[in-house]
Amino acid sequence: AIDQPLLEVSGLEAGYGESDVLHRLSFAVRQGEVVTLLGRNGAGKTTTLKAIMGLIAKRSGSIRFEGNETIGLSPRRIARLGIAHCPEDRGIFSSLDVRENLMLPPVIKEGGLHIDEIFDLFPNLRNRLTSQGTKLSGGEQQMLAIARILRTGSRLLLLDEPTEGLAPVIVEQIGRTIKRLKDLSYTIVLVEQNFHFARSVAERHFVIEHGRVVDEIADGDLSASLEKLNAYLGV
Ligand code: ATP
């Protein structure tokens, strides 16, 4: 169907051992859309991304990608469908240099960016090719983490707080990169605590509280929703 979302999460339950974190969490994303998951610390945003990626063993409900159920699939199989995840810690291997980190994830689909296209998007990385992971700034590590998944051919990118701890000028660069990725038709789910950043890159926002999506805010009604958001996020 033409209106079928690219990603459809419905009634998702997930948790760790004894603790249940997500409770019938639902949201959907269309092909080419950039959306954010907003919410306070501990609301369940990171857990949601991990559950989509299959990194949480204890999960039930439904997560459909291109119409196909992915609950029950291993992280590897999910990655091979074309879903990529940038974790909060960015996952850069400190003993490898930039080139090695870039080359690490396997190419899983046609349409992955060529290394030269990646350097067009991230010009800083070109000059850092032989620098070790540990020598990179936080911003460079974040750029590398995003750059790396673009090689794979994945079209759905799950980005966990890419702006965390970065200087405003770097946050701006990352914002520009995300807008360029949107222009290239990538679909992006972004976890954010920085609402100003979120509204500058995404057109829809899902507010998560206590493991549920409690509200959806679209670009058009943002100003009307600012007060509500203040209450949700305490900003
Ligand atoms: P943050 O920005 O702090 O990461 P979040 O909204 O992403 O916030 P999650 O990281 O998804 O929240 O955490 C949701 C809940 O799950 C929290 O109560 C957290 O303590 C718990 N939690 C997260 N990871 C684990 C784990 N590995 N084992 C047990 N509990 C966990």
CB atoms within 10 A of CB 163: 24
Q: What is the pLDDT of residues 156-185, one digit of tens each?
A: 999 999 999 999 999 999 999 999 999 999
Checking if the pLDDT of 221 tops 80, the result is no
Q: Which of 37, 47, 52 to mutate to test the pocket of ligand 1 (most atoms within 8 A of CB)?
A: 47
**What is the percent of the chain where pLDDT is above 90?**
66
Q: Are 2 and 171 in contact (CB under 8 A)?
A: no
Report residues whose beta carbon is within 6 angstroms of any ligand 1 atom: 16, 19, 21, 39, 41-47
ipTM: 0.94
Cβ atoms of 153 and 82 within 8 Å: the answer is yes
* pTM passes above 0.90: yes
State yes or no: pLDDT of 200 exceeds 80: yes
